[in-house]
Amino acid sequence: MVRYLCLFIGNSVLLILMGRLMLFPEFKFVFIFLPILGGVFYFFYSKNRSNYLVSLLLIASVIFYALPNWSDSYIIISSIVFNYACYKVMHIWKNKEKLILYSGVAFNLLLICYFKYSFFIVDNISYITGHSWHFEKFILPVGISFYTFQQIAFLVDCYRDKSVNYNFKEYALFVSFFPQLIAGPIVHHKELMPQLMRLSDQKISSKLVSLGVAIFIVGVFKKLVLADNFAPISDTIFGQFDDGLILDSLSAWIGAVSYSLQLYFDFSAYSDMAVGLGLMFGIQLPINFNSPYKAVSVIDFWRRWHITLSAFLRDYLYIALGGNRHGNIRRYTNLLLTMLIGGLWHGAGWGFIIWGGIHGCYLIINHAYRYMYKQYNFLLLPVYLCQVITVLAVILAWVFFRSENLTGALLMIKSMFFLGEALKVTIWTSLDLIFIVMGLFTVFFLPNTLQFFAYKPDNKLWYEAFNCSMGGVCFFKTRYGVMLGFLAAISLMFMPKQTVFIYFNF
């Protein structure tokens, strides 16, 4: 047993030392790291050594994250150790629980503020005071926004629920599990920890593993073939506006829609790959993305886009601020504050804060409209019109999210509404336009991956039903096998190109 584990560790170390962090849709992950890990994992499983599985996944997660980021690995290690210590001490010193909770939350917030926002704060203080303060900008530690929020939620829940009892190994894997560590989902401990605790006793179905492989392949295709090919279009047009050049309205809309599609497929791809990888190792991760551009309102949009972040902001910020318990004015204030903080979570820049503020205003308008309809039978719009209004509002807000500076964002918004003089410069092709139309058709008229495979991790009966009847689409049929093979073959053609997930920056 030991020699197989050593083989996995040795090969993985050599592999990762060759370069930067492995990304899921890369050759060295798909053809070296994942097969070696899977082989060792299922070798232990087949030999009834399931008690090694949690340790193996923890080692794999450490290798995946820490070796290529060895200079920053102390951050996540110290974060895991400190938060677990807070959790343990909270159970021992019951009369000091609140103090320990506040200390733990403060530590996590200070950690993320120092590494993510310190330079932004110093720059703004320098601008306001007129003094030149020098503060070196950090390269953002990978995944810090995700594992920090995940552990804040854990501490708050441990304070509320005294029955929580986890060992350090399971907790460390809960935080560092490699499929969800870098860009989510932000997993709640009650969703993941029970699965880790029973991993050694659980029967891992070959059908479930095959489903994971299928979802992973679709995610790779979305990233390499769709998202990465929208990027050049949006980058070119946004770059022109950021440099102060004002393009015509059509070009501005093409740039905004291209980025909206790039971000959609990029985040959707990562979410699919995370779910697929989890299933390969018998772990069901929560759904984090559910066709948000089909939303009929901004409220509905935030129930579909980055679902786990929305749940965190609702449960641990909005409700903590008072939620809707103190009248409409307080409710709307809480909504705006929550979305401003949600915008700031995405990045240290005024564009992100403005984007969050815009969505806060959208939500206020949305809730006010619902109130008017319920109280006074206000005008009820058709569903299709609600969808159009929602997606247009979301696209406009993405302009501030994507632009490198506020001047470029404002110039682009002006151009989109035919305001001001615009240069007639064609920096897109008819092929780009056809690609955008195909992307829009995929978004609005095709089922998403998890709908296609009927993946429902929140349904406790789903797992058993799937194992018994295969559930959803039976991709073992020839036509589905051919389709997945085709997607995999096309993805391999694009795999040599360098890629990065947008949410890695957050």
| Tens of pLDDT, residue by residue, the chain (506 residues) | 555 455 555 555 554 444 556 788 888 898 989 999 999 998 888 877 767 888 899 999 998 887 777 777 888 999 999 999 999 898 888 788 889 999 999 999 999 988 888 888 888 787 777 777 766 666 778 888 889 999 999 999 888 877 778 889 999 999 999 999 887 788 888 888 888 888 877 777 788 888 899 999 999 999 999 999 999 999 999 999 998 888 888 889 999 999 999 999 999 999 999 999 999 998 999 989 999 999 999 999 999 999 999 999 999 999 988 888 888 888 899 999 999 999 999 888 899 999 999 999 999 999 988 888 777 777 778 888 999 999 999 999 999 999 999 999 999 999 898 776 666 666 777 888 899 999 999 999 998 888 888 777 754 444 444 544 444 445 455 667 788 888 989 999 888 887 777 877 76
Domain assignment of residue 352, yes or no: yes
Residue 241 lies in a domain: yes
pLDDT at 482: 83
Same domain, yes or no, for 276 and 152? no
Looking at the structure, tell me whether residues 427 and 280 fall in a common domain: yes
pLDDT at 110: 92
Query: Quick check: 422 and 415 in contact, CB under 8 A?
Result: yes
Kindly state whether residue 190 falls inside one of the protein's structural domains: no
Are 364 and 445 part of one and the same domain? Answer: yes
- In a domain, residue 213? The reply is no
d(CA 313, CA 271): 19
Classify residue 470: in a domain, yes or no: no
Cβ-Cβ contacts under 8 Å for 485 (sequence gap 6 or more): none
Residue with tokens 């560092």: 176
The answer to whether residue 365 sits within a structural domain is: yes
Q: Where is the domain boundary, 115, 150, 176?
A: 176
346 as an active site residue: the answer is: yes
pTM, to two decimals: 0.89
CA-closest candidate to residue 105, choices 90, 118, 120, 95: 90
Is there a contact between 24 and 221 (Cβ–Cβ < 8 Å)?
no
Instruction: Tell me what pLDDT residue 65 has.
Output: 85
Domain boundary among 66, 85, 120: 66
Indicate whether 119 and 11 sit together in one domain. no
The DSSP result for 242-272, as a single string, is: HTTPPBPHHHHHHHHHHHHHHHHHHHHHHHH
What sign has the CA pseudo-torsion 353, 393, 426, 428?
Answer: positive
- Verify that 455 and 395 share a domain, yes or no: yes
Same-domain status, 77 and 161: yes
Residues 25 and 89 grouped into a single domain: no
The single-letter DSSP state of residue 477 is S
- Using DSSP's 3-state secondary structure scheme, residue 423 falls into strand
Tokens of residue 303, six digits: 């129930």
Based on the structure, what is the number of domains in the chain?
3
137 plus 28 within the same structural domain:
no
Q: How many CB atoms lie within 10 A of CB 425?
A: 13
Tell whether 456 and 435 lie within a shared domain.
Answer: yes
Q: Within a 10 A sphere around the Cβ of 229, how many other Cβ atoms? A: 18
Residue 445 forms part of a structural domain: yes
Same domain, 387 and 411: yes
- What per-residue confidence (pLDDT) applies to 122? 80
User: Are 328 and 419 found together in one domain?
Assistant: yes
Domain range holding 440? 229-462
User: Contact at 8 Å (CB) between 439 and 265?
Assistant: yes
User: Of residues 306, 346, 359, 367, which has the active-site annotation?
Assistant: 346
Handedness of CA 299, 300, 306, 311 (dihedral sign): positive
Boundary residue ending a domain (28, 43, 66): 66
Q: Is residue 337 in some structural domain?
A: yes
Q: Are residues 358 and 418 in the same domain?
A: yes
